[in-house]
Amino acid sequence: MIELEQERQRPARAILVGKTESRTVPDGEVVRELASLAKTAGLEVAGVVVLRRYEPSPKFGMGSGKAGEIHARAEAEDADQIVFDFEISPTQQRNWEELTGKTCLDRQEIIIRIFADRAMTREAALQIELARLEYSLPRLAHTYSALSRQRGGRYGTKGSGETQLELDRRAVLARIAQIKGELKDVRQDRATQRKRRERVPVPSVAIVGYTNVGKSTLLNALTGAGVLSEDALFATLDPTTRRFTLPSGRPILLTDTVGFIRNLPHGLIDAFHATLEEAAFASAVIILLDASDPAIETQFATTREVLAEVGAESRPYLVVLNKIDRCDEFTLRRLSGEYPDAVMISAATQEGLAAFGDRVGALLAGEEASFLLPPERTDLLARIHREGSVTSTEYLDEGILVRARATGRLAAALKEFER
């Protein structure tokens, strides 16, 4: 009885299968991200297999000999599942499960499962369900051993009827259409909220970056937002916006967005467009990187790629290196050379947050210019102080000479007064 209880409590064990063309990268490094995903999904890594010479084939996605080797490894390690760091087709998934008798998943399905466990709001739940249904639609066939099972149909009424597969496909397609309609309403509501915010001259700044780099921790440190923050991938999925006052006294809106990841499935990019579009409409973007992660270059490249996917690549951005409390002096000097314009902070210890606020203010202020305001336009001068960044003010006979930084609507209002 005790053994049965222990068996039930034992987490599912998984063999991770990755691929690389490099002969020198260690196996653990090749599947490092997949291992983190598996851990977040509640799996225990039982072993790793890395394909150094990848030759795709239609049956298993690789040669039969290598497939047999992975099967043998899974048996030897008493693994319950095999997880691939690359996409496998529905047919290949069926072939793998027939060969091994084990659950076989690819990277995309693992990510969808994690998202499904962590979706808290109605919007996130809808987005996840849409991604899951679109992923499962071409895989419905492998859930049926006989596709000729039919429903209904007595002689003289409905004829032979429809196969269960056809009925399920119709139900899935109908649900997909329904979810897309509901998400359209959610996006319209979000657009309405955004228009309301735009009426108030408060710039918005989106915090974006790789998953688990400390975005929620930074938002909490700056605003006391109380967002869930833990050392796990995709700890939060829903955007959270809070008001923050810069050292200059200027208020801004900070938004914590869903984390990015290498090779984020396109279905999830589409499903999370309503969430990620906060970055596309932001006045500026903070690209947060984990300074203690050896793969920081991959983080930066991935973040830039996903920003391009959602149309936010043209937004002004500031690179911020977080978790410097975990770095030694040599690493910090190296990063300073590689990212000379970046701000170094520790959201956990709050080191560097004052400098961070100054740099965000400068980013939002735009290019410095001189403006000659009419003497009676003190209202415009007050607006520059409120929405921009004033360097100097000089009262002349012909007007008020102001040297300041301004962007957006303020810059447009000052255009005619620029010298």
Number of neighbouring beta carbons within 10 Å of residue 220: 19
CA dist., res. 106 & res. 103, Å (int): 10
Contact 346, 321 (CB under 8 A): no
The residue-averaged pLDDT of 62-75 equals: 92
Q: Which of the four pLDDT bands, split at 50, 70 and 90, describes residue 159?
A: very low
Contact 251, 240 (CB under 8 A): no
CA dist., res. 56 & res. 232, Å (int): 33
Query: With 60 as the cut, is the pLDDT of residue 143 above it?
Result: no
Task: Give me the pLDDT at residue 80, please.
Answer: 93
Query: Nearest-CA neighbor of 347 among 205, 221, 209?
Result: 221
Contact 356, 363 (CB under 8 A): no
Give the contacts of 329 (CB within 8 A, at least 6 positions apart): none
Domain boundaries, the chain: 13-113, 119-147+161-200, 202-364, 366-417
Q: What is the pLDDT of residues 263-277, one digit of tens each?
A: 666 666 665 665 666
Query: Nearest-CA neighbor of 283 among 170, 392, 363?
Result: 363
Mean pLDDT of the chain: 81
High-pLDDT (> 70) share of the chain, %: 82
Fold: same for 13-113 and 202-364? yes
Which pTM value belongs to this model? 0.69
Task: Give me the pLDDT at residue 405, please.
Answer: 77
Cα separation of the two ends of the chain: 85
Residue 274: Cβ-neighbour burial (10 angstroms; 0-12, 13-18, 19+): buried
- Assign residue 350 a region (left: φ > 0; alpha: ψ between -120 and 50; beta: otherwise): left
Task: Give me the pLDDT at residue 2, please.
Answer: 46
**Residue 351 gets which letter from DSSP?**
B
Are β-strands 240-245 and 251-256 bridged in parallel, bridged antiparallel, or unpaired?
A: antiparallel
- Selection from 31-40, 140-149, 239-248, 345-354 with the highest mean pLDDT: 345-354
Residue 120 amino acid letter: M
Please state which CATH number belongs to domain 13-113: 3.40.50.11060
Query: Nearest-CA neighbor of 34 among 72, 75, 87?
Result: 87
CA dist., res. 95 & res. 102, Å (int): 11
Task: Give me the pLDDT at residue 332, please.
Answer: 94
Q: What is the pLDDT of residues 186-236, one digit of tens each?
A: 878 877 776 776 666 678 888 988 878 888 889 888 887 555 555 555 555
Task: Give me the pLDDT at residue 268, please.
Answer: 66
Give the contacts of 105 (CB within 8 A, at least 6 positions apart): 81, 82, 83, 84
Residue scoring higher pLDDT (64 or 315):
64
Q: Which of the four pLDDT bands, split at 50, 70 and 90, describes residue 327?
A: very high
Q: What is the pLDDT of residues 277-294, one digit of tens each?
A: 667 778 889 999 999 998
Query: With 80 as the cut, is the pLDDT of residue 320 above it?
Result: yes
Query: Nearest-CA neighbor of 327 among 299, 296, 305?
Result: 296
Cα separation values, 351 from 181, 292, 304, 321, 346, Å: 45, 15, 26, 11, 5
**147 φ, ψ (degrees, to nearest 5):** -85, 0
Superfamily per CATH, domain 202-364: P-loop containing nucleotide triphosphate hydrolases (3.40.50.300)
Q: Which of the four pLDDT bands, split at 50, 70 and 90, describes residue 145?
A: very low
The residue-averaged pLDDT of 62-67 equals: 90
